[in-house]
Amino acid sequence: MFSKPDSALVIVGHGSTLNPDSSGPTWGHADAIAQLGAFGEVHCAFWKEEPSLRQVLHCVNKREIYVVPNFISEGYFTQTVIPRELGLDGPQTNVAGRTVKYCAPVGSHERMTDLLLKRAAAVAPGVSPKETSLFIVGHGTGLNDNSAVAAKREVERIRALGIFGEVIAAYMEEAPFIAKWDELSTQPNVVVVPFFIADGLHSYEDIPVLLGIASTSPGAASATGAGVFAQNPYRLRGRTLFYANSIGTEEGFAEVILDQVAAFDAAAA
Amino acid sequence: MMDTNAALADWLDKGGRQIGQITIAKSADGWELRHIDDVGREDLCLYTITADARQLANLDDAGAYRALKTAPNLRHGWRLVLPDVATVHSALDAFYPAMIGVQLARERGELTPVNLRDTLARQTGMYRVTQKLTDEQAQSLIADSCRCDGGCLKIILWRISEELPVNSLPAEKFTVRGQNEWPLLCHEACNILVAGARKVVKGEPKEG
């Protein structure tokens, strides 16, 4: 474990003006890293919450600042919004006398595969992977984001390991649609892992409705939605279905954040 | 290198006692924070770690999510006792994110207010349309979203444009008060206001 007492870490999340749980995982990872004492300071910043990207650098005492996006994929936010709002012009930028080092987002780290496997095993204990169809569910729209690409990449990696009967990428808003999970899969057991950075409207409500394990309840984008994870397994459409929390709630994300800092240093060396 | 803990300690030593809706008092165990409306109450729930501050700040009295932490709807009924200035700093960062750092940047002369037109001009994607917001719409939106009674407690440091100040709110919205109150400063329109501008331009209802 490296130690950077003279550096600050800023973890950037999306945040939400509607969902009180959206920023929770980002704060949790920050708390875990602060407890490790790996950095002199650890901060969070958000697009939709405060501290905002326009405020956070005023809160940092250190002159060297690593910024790690807590995002699933490279895309609009990591390539356009975060650099623009922080005033970055490349991997390393001098911003008002500070050196800001912009790292890759957590979701692009190869360790994501292990975290998905861990999450899938935890949600369906004792279930034979060979008799299981594993779904990695992304958003999949024209959001100028590469979340669908990231989900496909993880599916290919997990598929190559030969652990599961089948591994399938599916999406909320583009084909293959997660709503057709029973047509897309053949195994008796189905494990569904949302490939999102936080639990919220999508994991609490949208995907459960598409899966057929919950009915629409407008405005339920809150902790009350967490009940959907407590009712595993679901028996429907002739299968046994296990529904997991969003992958971003996995504790191992804190280590991935540190790995992305180490990767930045390695690339710069 | 800055030391924001030392700056906060200095302010407390000089009698600083209020930030937003929170009052800070010296106690036998260190420092006590509570809602300013709860001064004198004996029936408050006791909290003792900074992590509690984030939970206390997250929901209002009715249990609704407080997306804007400087909205004047901090929940009541708690007191938070902390051992030292460092933990008070952490708690205040949870109750009023960035407000310690932003004020200290202002004191150092490093805080540059950004006018609304510049903030909107920078937007891309779904928020690019906010550049169509008229001056009249901006004044009305700011009056509605940023007013202290129901909107936001921050003091506005920016203008709509270099030529046009915000004139739809009373003068105290733009005035830093006494030394004993740590100012909540808005040096640039927040994303909530930008999202509000998008709804105005697109003719969408305010809520939803």
Domains assigned to chain A: 4-106+250-268 (3.40.50.1400), 108-249 (3.40.50.1400)
Q: Name the DSSP class of A16.
A: -
In angstroms, the CA A85 to CA A88 distance is 8
Token pair belonging to B147: 């007013």
The pLDDT, as a whole number, for residue A221 is: 46
Token pair belonging to B120: 């909107």
Selecting from A31, A49, A54 the residue whose C-beta is nearest the C-beta of B67 gives: A49
The pLDDT, as a whole number, for residue B208 is: 44
The CATH number of B4-107 is 3.30.1360.190
Q: How confident is the model at residue B190 (pLDDT cuts 50, 70, 90)?
A: very high
CA closest to A19 among chain B residues: B65
Beta bridge partners of A234: A241
Average pLDDT over residues A144-158: 86
Kindly determine whether residue A52 and residue B67, on different chains, have CB atoms separated by under 8 Å: no
Domains in chain B: boundaries? 4-107, 116-202
Token pair belonging to A36: 């490790």
Q: Are A202 and A139 in contact (CB under 8 A)?
A: yes
Token pair belonging to B22: 């929170």
A5-15 pLDDT tens trace = 999 999 999 99
Residue with token string 């975060």: A82
The pLDDT, as a whole number, for residue B177 is: 83
Q: To the nearest whole percent, how much of chain B has pLDDT over 90?
A: 91
Kindly determine whether residue A51 and residue B97, on different chains, have CB atoms separated by under 8 Å: yes
Question: What is the sign of the dihedral through the CA atoms of B63, B64, B67 and B72?
Answer: negative
Of A42-56, A69-83, B107-121, B151-165, least confident by mean pLDDT is A69-83
For chain A, the average pLDDT equals 92
Which residue in B2, B150, B160 sits closest to B73, CA to CA? B150
The CATH number of B116-202 is 3.30.70
B57-115 pLDDT tens trace = 999 999 999 999 999 999 999 999 999 999 999 999 999 999 999 999 999 999 999 99
Asked whether residue A144 carries a pLDDT value surpassing 60, the answer given is no
The pLDDT, as a whole number, for residue A227 is: 83
Token pair belonging to B187: 């040096």
Amino acid letter for position B205: P
Q: How confident is the model at residue B50 (pLDDT cuts 50, 70, 90)?
A: very high
Average pLDDT over residues B46-59: 95
The pLDDT, as a whole number, for residue B134 is: 98
Residue B166 Cα, gap to closest chain A Cα (Å):
21
The pLDDT, as a whole number, for residue A238 is: 96
For chain B, the average pLDDT equals 95
Q: Are A184 and A137 in contact (CB under 8 A)?
A: no
Selecting from A16, A47, A50 the residue whose C-beta is nearest the C-beta of B97 gives: A50
What distance, in Å, lies between the first and last C-alpha atoms of chain B? Answer: 44
SS3 A252: coil
Counting one residue from chain A and one from chain B, the pairs whose CB atoms sit within 8 A come to 71
Higher pLDDT among residues B206 and B54, named by residue: B54
Selecting from A55, A62, A81 the residue whose C-beta is nearest the C-beta of B98 gives: A55
Half-sphere exposure of A176 (CA within 13 A, CB side): 16
Backbone torsion region of residue B46, taken as left when φ is above 0, otherwise alpha when ψ lies between -120 and 50, otherwise beta: beta
Asked whether residue B1 carries a pLDDT value surpassing 60, the answer given is no
Q: Exposed, middle or buried by CB within 10 Å (0-12, 13-18, 19+), for A220?
A: middle
The pLDDT, as a whole number, for residue A1 is: 67
Tell me whether the CATH fold assigned to B4-107 matches the one assigned to B116-202: no
Q: Are A245 and A259 in contact (CB under 8 A)?
A: no
Asked whether residue A146 carries a pLDDT value surpassing 80, the answer given is no
Q: How confident is the model at residue A223 (pLDDT cuts 50, 70, 90)?
A: very low
CA closest to A81 among chain B residues: B124
Long-range CB pairs of B59-64 (<8 Å, 24+ gap) are B59/A20
In angstroms, the CA B190 to CA B116 distance is 10
Asked whether residue A263 carries a pLDDT value surpassing 80, the answer given is yes
Q: Are A11 and A32 in contact (CB under 8 A)?
A: no
Average pLDDT over residues A117-139: 96
Residue A187: alpha-carbon gap to chain centroid: 26
Which residue in B98, B94, B51, B65 sits closest to A53, CA to CA? B98
Q: From the CB of residue B49, how many other CB atoms can be counted at a distance below 10 Å?
A: 13
The pLDDT, as a whole number, for residue A60 is: 95
- Residues of chain B in contact with residue A54, where contact means CB-CB under 8 angstroms, are 114, 187-188
Q: In sequence order, what DSSP letters do the residues of chain B get, joined into one string? A: ---HHHHHHHHHHTT--EETTEEEEEETTEEEEEEGGGTT-S-PEEE-SHHHHHHHHHB-TTS-B-SSTTSS----SEEEEESSHHHHHHHHHHHSTTHHHHHHHHHTT------HHHHHHT--GGGGGGGG--HHHHHHHHHHHS-TTTT--PEE---SSSS----SS-GGGG----TTEE--EESS--HHHHHHHHHHHHT--S--
The pLDDT, as a whole number, for residue A220 is: 45
